[in-house]
Chains A and B, each alone.
Chain A
Amino acid sequence: MNALVAAAGIDPWIAVCSLVTVVITVGMGFWTAGKSKSAGDFFVAGRSVSVGWNASAISGEYLSAASFMGVAGMVMATGYDALWYPVCYACGYLFLLLFIAGPLRRFGAYTIPDFAEGRYDSPMFRKIAVCFVLFIGFFYTMPQMKGAGTTLAYIFPGLPYWAGVVVVGAVITLNVSLGGMKGITLVQAFQYWLKVFAITLPIFVLAAVVGQYQQHLAVNQTAQETTVTAVPGIERKALPAKAPKDEAWIAPFGKLTTKAVDASIAAASTPEEKTALEANKKPYSLLYTYSLIIALVCGTAGLPHILVRFYTNPDGVAAKRTTMWVMILIGVFYVFPPVYGVIGRSLTPELYDAVGAKGTDKVVLELPTLLAGRDHPLLGSVLSGITCAGAFAAFMSTFSGLLVSMSSALAHDIYGRMLRPTSSPEQRLKAFKWSALIVGVVAVGLGSQVEALEINFMVGQAFAIAAASYFPLLFMSVWWRGMTMRGAATGMLVGGLSALASITLTSVSDVAVAKAKKLTDAAELAAYWADHPLAKGIADFWVAHPLARILCEQPAIWAVPLSILLMIFVSKATAATVPADIRMKMLVLHAPEALGLKQEYIKEHEGLGGH
């Protein structure tokens, strides 16, 4: 058996650690399945989860494959600019805390579509809001699936990328349909602590052996430094041609933000054109940076699978406390992934040459094995096993959370509210399980297509869609009593869909370009592009118009204001349709629970035959 494992190139330690994580996750799902009986348990865990548990569970759900693997991979690949991702992933919670968390919890509804309907008394609006749970959810599941495919291909070197996607997708779908949300709360909380352990322990051991974070950063020469800083004890491997140069990597406005202009410069035919493009490079980079910041900060406050967790707090104050603790828990985590990226640049530069599942996205998994070459073979395997376990925890927990929120949207909103309003709780529970299955299958199908795209980049795009749809909806609905349903719906639809469309355009052309790059034969390449004229047309358009490319790749800078402005203008134009009991709704959102306004509101609505 051992010989078989060795022959297949599988490290038994890595395989065992990963397997243990999967078994514990699934086991906890089964164990808690018996405890979650009612529909309330399935959807929001009976709203009785304490601050500590909830903060750990939200953090566990939030720290996805993008955080665990993608951030490190992106820092290694593109340098400083990628740091905006972990920082905004963590600090974006501040907007959620300041403007949304408390009021949203007080209003009391299972999901965002519940809130949309309750705030505007409009079942029609619910249908629109549900669509975005699914849009954002599917965009978010794709990178999780890439994480799964990459990790399994790393553990089992012969395994194709898609097989990992299928295996992980099947296991989690089964787990969710058995346990629902209560099971998931426990599993998520456990997985947060597993992820923190898995990201910190290996890097502390590694840093002690191969050198510290700042030492590995110090060997990268900035544009201002005239000589390379020699740091004793730091051995740096030669960088391949594909790797960005030191001064571009360590400084702001590097490869991540300039690649659109760089592609245009490479294709420019005259020196004048090149000079003009060079002059635009830095301003466009600044624009890219701001758009990315807006997408990540506002997007965090509009993620359906995270927002649904705020309903599991007992009250608004607990919701605020939970948010603060989440910021601390995930902030602590996010200091570490960039360390892998920085050390990876010094010690595993060969990853720059690989693409897809073998590229920089796997630096977190690969780096600990370096210890094997430094007379610690067992330690290297064990630590790599631990990071693999963390990676499993990352994509499993986030995918579970997404699956719960998307399945809830299908079962609770579409089936329970639209298709069969008279259905019994048992029927809805059954619908939840079927929904989980459907969502799981679609997610696996989509995930198998995105091997060429960076994990972190894809998550950033899901954030941009959330930033242009749910964030304006929630922010404006909570703070402006003049908002009407038409205003909210127009803003959310136009902002969200235009962000979705522009992001899809860039992703589709990027996947096509990545496939084309694999073709070395000129005739094959020509035939490929002839078969994909649309993708070719889009790719050529980006080269000719780098600014358009940046605005489509990072749409938040125009889509968020567009959405908010539309909400204001359309609401002003339809001011007569502001809900009649708007003052009461606003009181429920903003007055402390101690005043008991929520109960009064419910009583009033029951009297009117409302929801």
Chain B
Amino acid sequence: MSESSPTPEAIHSDAFLARLMRDQLKLSIACALCFAVALVALPLLNYYQPAFMAQRVFGFTLTWLILGVLFFPFVWIISYVFIKRSIALEDAEAQAAKDGLTK
């Protein structure tokens, strides 16, 4: 490693990397689960509750309205929450690492 590197030992520790990856992965998996539940549930509802899903809502069938229209804003909300939290997480990590550098 070059001697001019300013990065403190703490950043290169296994513990730092493990925490970094764990925190980010936790957030990603939580968001992915919300999405995955919806993706798994809709076909299952169509399969087991066809009459319920076929009821008319504003002329659409319920399942058509969910899949053709409502699914998009649902995913936008997940992605917005993810972006906000993940950027906050990155800022906190960078700040923590810099604090470590000046100490």
Which A residues contact B (CB, under 8 angstroms)?
Answer: 80, 83-84, 87, 90-91, 93-95, 97-99, 102, 212-215, 217-218, 222-224, 231, 250-253, 282, 286, 289-290, 293, 297, 316-317, 320-321, 323-324, 327-328, 331-332, 334-335, 338, 479, 583-584, 586-587, 590-592, 594-597, 600, 603-604, 607
Q: Which residue of A lies closest to B71 (CB)?
A: A87
- In the complex, A94→B91 CA distance in Å? 22
Q: Are A591 and B93 in contact (CB under 8 A)?
A: yes
A294: nearest chain-B partner, CB-CB: B39
Instruction: Give the CA-CA distance A282 to B11 in the complex, in Å.
Output: 54
Contact check: which of A93, A99, A252, A594 meets B63 at CB < 8 Å? A252
Q: Name the distance in Å between B62's Cβ and chain A's nearest Cβ.
A: 11
Binary per-residue interface labels of chain B (33-52) against chain A in the complex, 1 for a CB within 8 Å, 0 otherwise: 00100011001101100110
Selected from A98, A282, A289, the residue in CB contact (under 8 A) with B32 is A98
Chain A residues near B76: list those with CB within 8 A: 324, 327-328, 331
A604 interface neighbour in B1, B64, B82, Cβ under 8 Å: B1
Please indicate which of the listed interface residues B31, B40, B73, B76 has the most CB atoms of chain A within 10 Å of its own CB: B76
Q: Counting chain A CB atoms within 10 Å of each CB, which of B6, B55, B78 scores highest? A: B78
List chain B residues, Cβ under 8 A from A99: 28, 32
Residue of A nearest to B2 (CB): A603
Q: Does B9 count as interface, using CB distance less than 8 angstroms?
A: no
Contacts of B24 in A (CB 8 A): 590
Within the complex, what minimum Cβ distance (angstroms) separates A386 from chain B? 23
CB of A601, distance to nearest CB on chain B (Å): 10
A298 CA to B51 CA, complexed, in Å: 31
Instruction: Check A90 against B72 for contact (C-beta < 8 Å).
Output: yes
Q: Which residues of B contact A222 (CB under 8 A)?
A: 54, 61
Q: How long is the Cα–Cα vector from A594 to B98 in the complex, in angstroms?
A: 9
Q: Is the CB of B50 within 8 A of A251?
A: yes
**In the bound complex, what is the Cα–Cα distance between A102 and B72 (angstroms)?**
22
CA distance in complex: A591, B80 (Å): 21
Q: Mark B74-98, 1 if CB is under 8 A from A, else 0.
A: 0110111011001100110110011
- Is A600's CB under 8 angstroms from B7's CB? yes
A-B contact pairs, 26 of them (CB 8 A): A87-B72, A94-B79, A97-B83, A98-B32, A98-B82, A99-B32, A212-B59, A217-B61, A222-B54, A224-B55, A250-B54, A252-B63, A293-B43, A320-B82, A320-B87, A479-B25, A587-B11, A587-B12, A591-B20, A591-B97, A592-B94, A594-B97, A595-B11, A600-B1, A600-B5, A604-B1
Residue of A nearest to B25 (CB): A479
Task: Give, as a whole number of angstroms, the nearest-CB distance from A309 to chain B.
Answer: 17
Which residues of chain B are near A282, meaning CB under 8 Å?
47
Residue of A nearest to B55 (CB): A224
User: In the complex, are the beta carbons of A91 and B72 less than 8 A apart?
Assistant: yes
